[in-house]
């Protein structure tokens, strides 16, 4: 009953207005606002500041600066084995497995279309129709920068407008097509094993999503907007390099072609992940 009330409330409240208001608060540089907010948040969610590059709360110019904090150089180990994919984020596995006939498993009784997830363009989704996926949820305490799981050349990007439901277990189990209806950013990369889609899913109170090549991505309007990079500029990112970040949390969905990899057997739904650890072993030709 508690979960149902939580989900029902999200259908009623003005999601985008609330997110914009909280986003403005998170960008405040006034010490009387940002310092207590950072300290309260860190205490409430037990944020490990010892691994942060800047351990002192006062060194952050805003709450968002704190939320997207960088880590010390030795805080994470990147699995550089060329036969492995590295985990792109800290978080927890929501789901992991195969894409069956274009459908991605969301939660018990819930599936959604990979074509819808990638913005409704069949040419983009075709390589993943019978592919593989993993969905990783980033909790408030987590490190909120997203890194490359392998070397990749950016081919195209899309911003898909949508709603801003929360993306926790309660909404995943009760909101149909959750990840394909929330606002999201889709990045398609060319890799040694074929195309790879990294989808950064927005959520309630997520102020914005940034990428390292375009900065803040926040187009207006209700239409999908796309950017092509393959023939315009060379954007190549190495395994472990930062590719984007969330301001106020959310989820990523990683999509791969069929028979690309064997997932790390330890990464079952609910298991905590750390950026850089082995996510999967690539299948040999």
Which entry of 90, 125, 142, 144 is annotated as an active-site residue? 90
Residue 270, CB half-sphere, CA atoms under 13 Å: how many?
Answer: 1
Name beta bridge partners: 157.
Answer: 187, 227
How far is 57 from 78, CA to CA, in rounded Å? 27
pLDDT of residue 40: 95
Q: Is 250 a catalytic residue?
A: yes
Residue 186, CB half-sphere, CA atoms under 13 Å: how many?
Answer: 30
What is the per-residue pLDDT across 16-39, written as a single tens digit (0 to 9) for each? 666 677 777 888 999 999 999 999
What is the per-residue pLDDT across 262-281, written as a single tens digit (0 to 9) for each? 999 999 999 999 999 999 99
Which entry of 84, 147, 159, 166 is annotated as an active-site residue? 147
Decide if pLDDT at 94 tops 60: yes
* Mean pLDDT for the chain overall: 91
CB 75 within 8 A of CB 50: no
Decide if pLDDT at 207 tops 60: no
Decide if pLDDT at 14 tops 70: no
Instruction: Kindly state the average pLDDT of the residues 199-223.
Output: 81
Name beta bridge partners: 163.
Answer: 182
CB 132 within 8 A of CB 99: yes
**Which of 71-85, 169-183, 212-226 has the highest mean predicted lDDT (pLDDT)?**
71-85
pLDDT of residue 85: 98
The percent of residues in the chain predicted with pLDDT above 70, rounded, is 93
pLDDT of residue 19: 67
Residue 246 binned pLDDT confidence (cut-offs 50, 70, 90): confident
Match 């900065």 to its residue by tokens.
215
How far is 178 from 117, CA to CA, in rounded Å? 10
Q: Is 16 a catalytic residue?
A: no
Match 């375009």 to its residue by tokens.
214
Q: Is 284 a catalytic residue?
A: no
Q: What DSSP string describes 90-129?
A: SEEEEEEEE-BTTEEEEETTEEEEHHHHTTS-HHHHGGGT
Measured in residues, the chain has a length of 285
Q: Which two tokens stand for residue 280?
A: 């999967």
Instruction: Kindly state the average pLDDT of the residues 145-167.
Output: 93
How far is 269 from 9, CA to CA, in rounded Å? 26
What is the per-residue pLDDT across 130-140, written as a single tens digit (0 to 9) for each? 999 999 999 98
CB 71 within 8 A of CB 53: yes
């Amino acid at each position: 009953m508690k979960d149902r009330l939580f989900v029902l409330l999200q259908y009623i409240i003005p999601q985008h207005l609330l997110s914009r208001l909280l986003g403005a608060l998170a960008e405040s540089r006034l010490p009387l606002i940002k310092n207590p907010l950072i300290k309260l948040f860190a205490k409430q969610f037990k944020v490990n500041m010892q691994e942060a590059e800047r351990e002192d709360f006062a060194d952050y110019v805003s709450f968002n600066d704190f939320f997207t904090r960088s880590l010390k150089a030795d805080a994470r180990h990147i699995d550089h084995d060329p036969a492995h994919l590295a985990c792109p984020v800290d978080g927890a596995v929501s789901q992991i497995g195969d894409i069956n006939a274009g459908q991605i498993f969301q939660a018990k009784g819930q599936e959604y279309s990979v074509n819808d997830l990638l913005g409704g363009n069949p040419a983009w989704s075709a390589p993943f129709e019978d592919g593989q996926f993993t969905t990783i949820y980033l909790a408030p305490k987590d490190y909120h920068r997203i890194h490359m799981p392998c070397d990749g050349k950016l081919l195209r990007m899309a911003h898909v407008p949508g709603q801003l439901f929360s993306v926790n277990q309660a909404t995943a189990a009760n909101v149909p097509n959750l990840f394909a209806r929330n606002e999201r950013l889709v990045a398609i990369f060319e890799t040694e094993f074929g195309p790879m889609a990294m989808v950064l899913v927005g959520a309630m109170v997520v102020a914005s999503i940034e990428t390292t090549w375009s900065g803040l991505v926040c187009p207006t309007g209700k239409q999908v907007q796309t950017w092509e990079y393959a023939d315009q500029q060379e954007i190549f990112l190495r395994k472990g390099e930062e590719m984007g970040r969330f301001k106020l949390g959310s989820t990523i969905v990683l999509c791969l072609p069929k028979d690309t990899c064997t997932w790390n057997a330890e990464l079952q739904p609910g298991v905590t992940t750390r950026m850089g650890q082995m996510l999967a072993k690539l299948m040999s030709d």
